[in-house]
Homo-oligomer: A and B are copies of this chain.
Amino acid sequence: MPLTHDEVIDAAVGLLRAHGLADLTMRRLARELQVQPGALYWHVDNKQTLLIRVAERMLADVTTATGAEPVAGIRHLARGIREAVLPVPDGSAVVALGYALDPDSVPAFVRLRRLVGRLTDTPADTAAATDLIAHHVLGSVSDEQDRRAAGLDVHGAGAVFERGLDLALAPIIPATARRSAHGN
């Protein structure tokens, strides 16, 4: 039975989870799948596009709180993305690349943009607010992963993440929801 595209991506995600980006090499991936390195290029254009598919796969299981009010939905999604990316070494770098090159390829970010759109007045505001939240999530996860990889202290990172999320949400939270914003 021949190798499939999905098996290649799954194995790549596994390698990233287990060892980080430095060990996610085309040669190592080929060894894992018991084929020659060149065989991968039948299923994948090159390493860059492989990484974009890996980013999609990493966030494929992030859920949306159905029927939720937008602010709570945004918080839920932001936390879901953080929790999906945090345990994968260098996951934030891979997802950030995917977000930059093709923001619409990752459903979780598409849903985030849609929710933000319900709180903003113009497309430009929607884009700016979505970007701010995405950069906060990916930036704080990146900081935490880089510090962890360097053996530095990461305690309190969760609280810092929540505070930053509050700040990023503040300008788009409707006045009526200002009081009970935290903790939902």
CB <8 Å contact, A168 and B132: yes
**Contact residue among B93, B128, B143, B166 (Cβ-Cβ distance under 8 Å from A164):** B128
List of B residues within 8 angstroms of A101 by Cβ: 146-147, 150, 152
Shortest Cβ distance from residue A106 to the other chain B in the assembled complex, whole angstroms = 14
Binding site for B on A (CB under 8 A): 93, 96-97, 99-101, 124-125, 127-129, 131-132, 134-136, 138-140, 142-143, 146-147, 150, 152, 159-160, 163-164, 166-168, 170-172
**Known interface pairs A100-B146, A101-B150, A135-B138; 6 further A-B residue pairs with C-beta atoms within 8 A, sorted by A's residue number:** A101-B146, A101-B147, A128-B163, A131-B160, A135-B164, A167-B172
24 CB < 8 A contacts A-B: A96-B142, A96-B146, A99-B143, A101-B146, A101-B152, A124-B163, A125-B163, A128-B160, A128-B163, A128-B167, A129-B164, A129-B167, A131-B164, A132-B136, A132-B167, A132-B168, A135-B136, A135-B138, A135-B139, A136-B136, A136-B139, A139-B139, A167-B171, A170-B170
